Amino acid sequence: MESVIFVLALVLISYVGAEWLFRMRKLPFVVSSLFHSGMGFVIIGIIIGPHGFGWLDTARVDLLVSIESLALSLIGIVFGLQFRLRSMRLIAYANYRVAVVQSVIVFVLAFLLILPIRWIFPEEFLSVREALPFIFALAAIASVTSPTAAAAVVRRMNAHGTAARLLRYVTATDAFVGVSIFGLTLSFFRLDGMAEGALIDGLMWFGLTLGVGALLGFIYHVFLAMRLSSNERLVVASGTVVLTAGVASLLSISPLFLSMIAGVVLTNFSETQDRLFRLLASAKKPIFGLMLILLGAKWVGFHPMILILGFAYVAIRIFSKIIGSRFALRMSGIGMPGSISFGFSLTGQGGMTVAMALDFMSRYDAWSSQVLISIIIVSFFANALLSPYMIRRMLLAEEGAE
């Protein structure tokens, strides 16, 4: 009973904290940017976790496994619902090209630069096969940018130039590539089939995930097409999250990737998806806070290796974002004098980064997953300080050029 009360208190803290956090407007720029990134929740998780006061111990974390799966499902569905082709056609194709090209380049560069970790730390990664899921996941996470951080700075500066618009479009869509690569990675490196590592098995599991996600999206469309009261619609919305998480758990596949596919299919079939989006999005902020607390609670401590890997990952990600964005801008024919600053502005990390990290840890309950979580925390903190400053600098430079 005591553990259940503690979990409920944690959920309440996430809800109240999220509502208070996103209403903070009048603090200095650096302080407000740090708070809006959600670092406060991570710090709470570290303080109450095993390396702090120990209130959120292993037993209590285990109680949150189901909630964590539901949270991943909700975030995936909400993200997928934003990809409605009819609406996306209203935005210039060049914006999507920049988002996809830079995301793919970042993944490839990050993968190649992280790959030597197997030989640098051989005691942690006993074989290349064991290291590959870890490397693929870190590279996929590196390609994802937080739209919330970018939107907060753009809104605060009331910017409406080319850089501001492009930044919002790119950050809103580049996670699709990262999550798709992440889902593909989990299909090929399943715990029950890693020894064989067969190409056909990986393709079959990836195809199965796509098929099941599409089927779930169509089923949800059938329910939403009925004439429903507001209470019935709330039940359907809750049911989509619970059913998707349950199917993912039954098949031992990623709830984040599965629910994203379901959301994409649903939004392109249903004419009433806006109502579902509003219902689920209203719970996104407190869920984000809860996931950040869980992320902090899984921090393994200030080991020298963790700090070295964390700051190396930050440097790799910045370098990859700069190269990827410059190539993407040139390829798309978009002239921007501050292309290096644009790459720096894409370093922010948010809810999708946290979701992917927690999803990986739920698939691979090993030391490497704890290392990944800790690297993401170091990167999350560094980019929470760097990204808003670089976005502000880029937008001010554009206004000065005009």
CATH number at residue 251: 1.20.1530.20
Between vectors from CA 318 to CA 289 and to CA 77, what angle results, nearest 5°? 35
For residue range 148-194, what is the model confidence (pLDDT) as tens digits? 777 777 777 776 777 778 888 888 888 899 999 998 888 887 655 44
Q: Which of 268, 327, 332 is nearest to 93 (CA)?
A: 332
Domain assignment of residue 277, given as a range? 2-401
Number of separate domains in the chain? 1
Q: In this predicted structure, what is the pLDDT of residue 401?
A: 46
Q: In this predicted structure, what is the pLDDT of residue 194?
A: 47
What are the Cα distances from residue 144, in Å, to 18, 25, 292, 300, 357?
22, 26, 17, 24, 12
Mean pLDDT confidence for 13-38? 58
Check pLDDT > 80 for residue 41.
Answer: no
Helix axes 367-401, 29-36, angle to 10 degrees: 140
What is the SS3 assignment for 303? coil
Q: In this predicted structure, what is the pLDDT of residue 196?
A: 45
For residue range 315-348, what is the model confidence (pLDDT) as tens digits? 999 999 999 888 888 887 776 655 567 888 888 8
More confident residue, 309 or 27: 309
Give me the phi and psi of 70, to 5 degrees please: -65, -40
Give me the phi and psi of 146, to 5 degrees please: -80, 120
Pick the range with the lowest mean pLDDT from 53-57, 105-109, 174-178, 202-206: 53-57
